[in-house]
């Protein structure tokens, strides 16, 4: 849309408002069907906007997706084609353009809703193909509140047609959407995905949108457009009350922002657009200063990188037995716990590496990215040598990530940079190539130059490039330590890009590694390091980060440093003397449970400890819960303490290289369509406490997947939960399929709306009224 630099592009106003005014739309099965029932009326509305001065009209297809139009008797293709033709009928003879309008699907994507990213993509793609075939000039995705949904729509548009793509989201006065997406996160993500213009529409009037539009203009170099409502709606009847004159007056400040197009949304009519067009006539949008920020983000967290920023390194199986086991088992909870504990410790970005021989890394990368973004709002750094794994992770990532990594090898650059460009990711470039790691700073700088040039060619901005000058070990290559620091300075000063280092390699082979790591980190920070890939759960690393921030004048008035240390008290001695493992579990004291277990392990073996101490302790807890003298939160605190004790036992077993304890393998899941899983999670923890191995398929799980897993993992007991009457049918279906495929499998069910008689009716073997009862069922099935 570069042709509009010299003048404003005027967009149309509300379609729904005009339909209401004309007295059409109600009772006809929704406004989208009117394009078929009364195309002339739709064309007339478009014509009215164009005659008022609009240069572009949006088709009447806001809700014309398959979810919303199912049961209408018409296909999406029919509806979109009719609407596009109705708009073209007005636009072509006036020499104006038509945008295929795509609104939100009306259902929320996972994890808040149940729609998958892939389903959303398919729904949008269907609209795009129809609109493009019918002759639309561009695609506009509008009134969006969920960044993930916008990403699905943008990919659907870009992959299913060659038209320009615009996207606008709708914000509250806080500058966030209903789903929590900030305007900065939208800007970083959509600019990365390569939309042609982005904007803000609906929800608010010109006055309320103005500060948000300013923020958007400061966050992107792309053309920006706005379509505000005619003020705020009346809370009683929903009407919009500001006049066209008032609207126009309120739109005047937008002339200073450097936006390229404006129009109206709810409550606006051709009268509003006429005045808007008059106001903009002969005016030239001012140039905006170039934005040059290094950003990565999730919808709710935009992280600007400008100086030392901690990247958590722990989501990586290298050298970690439990992590490898978790990956092999598909145990997401272990990985999620790692993600959250790093966040709490101060990580700002998380590196995600799931490479393990024998594992389907692309599939695992996708699953892990989806899982982490469900519970953790930190931006991710996707770490893989396999372009397929990167592609899968990048596609489903919600926001703007970093790719770790490329290097100076041509074939790596050729394979990975196009992916970074397509999905809008920042990229890490390692200063090594076919010849290995060069020793001198100048040689590494030369590779950095090559990488930066390749990024320039691929269209990746300098602000999105992070060069890794590589840490060598001080024990083996002591004089090269200085070369790394020198290379950082050269790259920062001469290439205008950011830098990154994995720090802990420096100390390999030497004692007191923490001291060397922290010291090297401080030196690298002074040389200009931006991203430090470290273990944030090691206190000395975070200490070094906080100290460097003070010494480099980044932590103004030492505020963060003071907050961290001013009131620091010496660490308390954890284990209370004389507390037994039984007390610790009953009272839910995790540290004490851990301490007691460590002591007891020395006296008795793992199995005796489990059977003679831990399980009897849990039985007491369970019995008191049944009696009603101990309550659910306390039961769960006790379970967590027991879990801490079991973790100590597990590590002891793993350290001896023995197979993990399992009293039996149980598959649990919340059935298809249902997303209430707290009960299932409680059952899981309690069963794990008792030594059962749990395969948790999560929530909203299709019957086929449950059956397939039951067969693959030779499951003898399956637990299913459902909370809604509407999802009991999928529980029944799951049971039916399980019975047919694996008759020896026992099934227990639970959930708010279930009763013993209903459980029997749908063919379950057991009804579990609570987690305690599920243990009794497991004991019966597996024997004790």
- Which residues are at the interface with other proteins (CB under 8 A)? 26-27, 68, 104, 106-108, 111-115, 143, 145, 170, 177-180, 202-203, 235-236, 238, 300, 333, 336-337, 340, 374-377, 588, 628, 631-634, 636-637, 639-640, 673-678, 681-682, 685, 724-727, 730, 752-753, 755-757, 769
CB of 425 to other proteins, least distance (A): 23
Q: How many Å apart are CA 550 and CA 557, to the nearest integer?
A: 8
| Residue of 4, 2, 126 whose CA lies nearest to 69 | 126
Q: How many Å apart are CA 590 and CA 641, to the nearest integer?
A: 4
CB of 114 to other proteins, least distance (A): 5
Q: Which is nearer to other proteins, 662 or 755 (CB)?
A: 755
Q: Which is nearer to other proteins, 38 or 179 (CB)?
A: 179
| Residue of 454, 421, 375, 423 whose CA lies nearest to 111 | 375
Concatenating the DSSP letter of every residue in 605-641 gives -HHHHIIIIIHHHHHHHHHHHHHTSS-HHHHHHHHHH
Strand partners, 56: 11, 97
- DSSP label of 473: P
CB of 348 to other proteins, least distance (A): 17
Q: Which is nearer to other proteins, 338 or 517 (CB)?
A: 338
CB of 326 to other proteins, least distance (A): 13
CB of 265 to other proteins, least distance (A): 11
CB of 375 to other proteins, least distance (A): 4
- Count CA atoms within 13 Å of residue 321 on its CB side: 12
Q: Which is nearer to other proteins, 344 or 456 (CB)?
A: 344
CB of 38 to other proteins, least distance (A): 20
Q: Which is nearer to other proteins, 160 or 203 (CB)?
A: 203
Q: Which is nearer to other proteins, 84 or 670 (CB)?
A: 670
Strand partners, 694: 666
CB of 780 to other proteins, least distance (A): 21
Q: Which is nearer to other proteins, 465 or 723 (CB)?
A: 723
Q: Which is nearer to other proteins, 713 or 769 (CB)?
A: 769
Residue whose structure tokens are 């369970």: 622
Q: In what order do the strands lie in the sheet with 766-767?
A: 693-696, 665-670, 717-721, 746-750, 766-767
CB of 135 to other proteins, least distance (A): 28
Q: Which is nearer to other proteins, 745 or 768 (CB)?
A: 768
CB of 754 to other proteins, least distance (A): 8
Residue 384 near residue 419, CB atoms below 8 Å: no
Q: Which is nearer to other proteins, 256 or 344 (CB)?
A: 344
- Count CA atoms within 13 Å of residue 532 on its CB side: 32
Element containing residue 15 per DSSP (H, E): helix 15-21
Q: Which is nearer to other proteins, 178 or 565 (CB)?
A: 178
Q: How many Å apart are CA 436 and CA 454, to the nearest integer?
A: 19
SS3 category, 743: coil
Q: Which is nearer to other proteins, 28 or 558 (CB)?
A: 28
Q: Phi then psi for 700, rounded to 5 degrees?
A: 55, 50
Residue whose structure tokens are 């989201």: 169
CB of 383 to other proteins, least distance (A): 21
Q: Are strands 402-407 and 380-383 parallel, antiparallel or unpaired?
A: parallel
CA 29 to chain CA centroid, Å, is 35
| Residue of 162, 269, 275, 254 whose CA lies nearest to 200 | 254
Q: How many Å apart are CA 455 and CA 450, to the nearest integer?
A: 9
Q: Which is nearer to other proteins, 604 or 623 (CB)?
A: 623
Residue whose structure tokens are 């400061």: 218
Which runs of consecutive H residues, i.e. helices, occur in 528-631? Answer: 539-551, 559-565, 581-587, 590-603, 606-609, 615-627
Question: Over the range 532-544, which residues count as b (16 or more CB within 10 Å of their CB) and which as e?
Answer: bbbbbbbebbbbb
CB of 278 to other proteins, least distance (A): 30
Q: How many Å apart are CA 430 and CA 650, to the nearest integer?
A: 37
Q: Are strands 402-407 and 426-430 parallel, antiparallel or unpaired?
A: parallel
CB of 102 to other proteins, least distance (A): 14
Q: How many Å apart are CA 351 and CA 164, to the nearest integer?
A: 33
CB of 641 to other proteins, least distance (A): 10
CB of 637 to other proteins, least distance (A): 5
Q: Which is nearer to other proteins, 10 or 181 (CB)?
A: 181
Q: Distances in Å between the alpha carbon of 643 and those of 12, 64, 274, 647, 774?
A: 60, 50, 68, 6, 17
- DSSP label of 287: P
Q: Which is nearer to other proteins, 8 or 589 (CB)?
A: 589
256-151-223 Cα angle (round to 5): 20
Residue 634 near residue 683, CB atoms below 8 Å: no
Which residues, 6+ apart, have CB-to-CB distance to 759 below 8 Å?
A: 749, 766, 767
């Amino acid at each position: 849309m570069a042709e509009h630099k010299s003048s404003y592009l005027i967009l149309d106003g509300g379609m729904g408002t005009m339909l209401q005014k004309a007295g059409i739309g109600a009772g006809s099965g929704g406004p989208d069907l009117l394009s078929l029932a009364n195309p002339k009326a739709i064309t007339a509305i478009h014509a009215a906007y164009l005659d008022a001065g609009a240069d572009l009209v949006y088709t009447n297809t806001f809700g014309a997706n398959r979810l919303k139009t199912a049961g209408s008797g018409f296909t999406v293709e029919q509806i979109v084609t009719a609407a596009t033709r109705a708009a073209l009928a007005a636009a072509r003879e006036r020499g104006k353009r038509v945008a295929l309008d795509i609104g939100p699907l009306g259902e929320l994507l996972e994890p808040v809703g149940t729609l998958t990213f892939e389903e959303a993509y398919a729904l949008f793609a269907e609209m795009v193909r129809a609109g493009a075939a019918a002759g639309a000039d561009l695609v506009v995705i509008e009134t969006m509140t969920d960044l993930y949904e916008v990403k699905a729509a943008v990919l659907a548009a870009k992959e299913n047609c060659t038209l320009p793509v615009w996207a606008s989201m709708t914000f509250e006065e806080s500058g966030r959407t209903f789903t929590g997406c900030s305007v900065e996160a939208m800007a970083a993500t959509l600019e990365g995905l390569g939309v042609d213009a982005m904007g803000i529409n609906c929800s608010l009037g010109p006055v309320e949108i103005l500060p948000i539009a300013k923020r958007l203009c400061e966050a992107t170099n792309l053309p920006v457009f706005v379509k505000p409502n005619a003020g705020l709606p009346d809370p009683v009847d929903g009407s919009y009350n500001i006049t066209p004159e008032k609207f126009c007056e309120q739109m005047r400040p937008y002339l200073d922002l450097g936006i390229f197009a404006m129009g109206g949304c709810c409550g606006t009519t051709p009268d509003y657009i006429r005045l808007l067009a008059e106001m903009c006539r002969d005016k030239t949008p001012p140039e905006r200063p170039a934005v040059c920020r290094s950003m990565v983000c999730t919808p709710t967290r935009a992280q600007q990188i400008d100086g030392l920023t901690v990247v958590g390194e722990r989501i990586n199986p290298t050298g970690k037995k439990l992590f490898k086991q978790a990956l092999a088992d598909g145990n997401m909870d272990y990985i999620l716990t790692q993600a959250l504990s790093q966040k709490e410790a101060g990580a700002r970005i998380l590196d995600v590496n799931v490479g393990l021989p024998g594992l389907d890394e692309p599939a695992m990368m996708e699953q892990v990215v989806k899982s982490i973004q469900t519970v953790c709002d930190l931006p991710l750094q996707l770490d893989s040598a396999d372009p397929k794994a990167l592609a899968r992770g990048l596609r489903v990532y919600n926001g703007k990530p970093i790719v770790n990594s490329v290097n100076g090898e041509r074939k790596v650059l050729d394979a990975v940079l196009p992916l970074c460009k397509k999905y809008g990711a920042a990229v890490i470039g390692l200063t090594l190539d076919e010849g290995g790691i060069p020793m001198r700073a100048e040689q590494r700088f030369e590779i950095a130059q090559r990488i930066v040039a390749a990024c320039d060619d691929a269209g990746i901005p300098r602000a999105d490039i992070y060069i890794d000058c590589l840490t060598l070990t001080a024990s083996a290559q002591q004089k090269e330590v200085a070369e790394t620091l020198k290379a950082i300075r050269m790259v920062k000063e001469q290439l205008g890009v950011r830098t990154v280092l994995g720090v802990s390699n420096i100390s390999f082979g030497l004692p007191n590694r923490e001291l060397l790591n922290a010291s090297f980190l401080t030196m690298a920070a002074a040389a200009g390091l931006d991203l430090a890939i470290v273990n944030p759960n090691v206190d000395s690393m975070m200490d070094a980060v906080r100290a460097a921030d003070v010494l480099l004048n980044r932590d103004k008035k030492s505020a963060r440093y003071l907050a961290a240390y001013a009131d620091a008290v010496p660490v308390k001695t954890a284990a209370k003397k004389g507390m037994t493992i039984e007390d610790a579990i009953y009272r839910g004291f995790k540290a004490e449970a851990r301490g007691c277990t460590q002591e007891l392990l020395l006296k008795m073996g793992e199995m005796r400890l489990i059977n003679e101490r831990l399980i009897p302790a849990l039985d007491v807890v369970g019995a008191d819960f049944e009696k009603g003298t101990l309550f659910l939160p306390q039961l769960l605190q006790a379970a967590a303490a027991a879990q801490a004790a079991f973790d100590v036992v597990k590590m002891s077993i793993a350290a001896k290289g023995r197979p993990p304890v399992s009293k039996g393998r149980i598959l649990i899941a919340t059935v298809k369509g249902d997303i209430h899983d707290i009960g299932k999670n409680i059952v899981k923890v309690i069963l794990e406490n008792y030594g059962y191995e749990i395969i948790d398929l999560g929530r909203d799980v299709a019957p086929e997947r449950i059956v397939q897993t039951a067969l693959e993992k030779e499951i003898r007991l399956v637990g299913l939960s459902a909370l809604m009457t509407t999802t009991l049918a999928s529980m029944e279906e799951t049971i039916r399929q399980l019975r047919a495929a694996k008759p020896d499998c026992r099934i227990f069910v639970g959930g708010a709306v279930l009763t013993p008689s209903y459980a029997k009716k749908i063919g379950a073997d057991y009804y579990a009224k609570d987690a305690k009862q599920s243990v009794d069922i497991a004991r019966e099935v597996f024997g004790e």
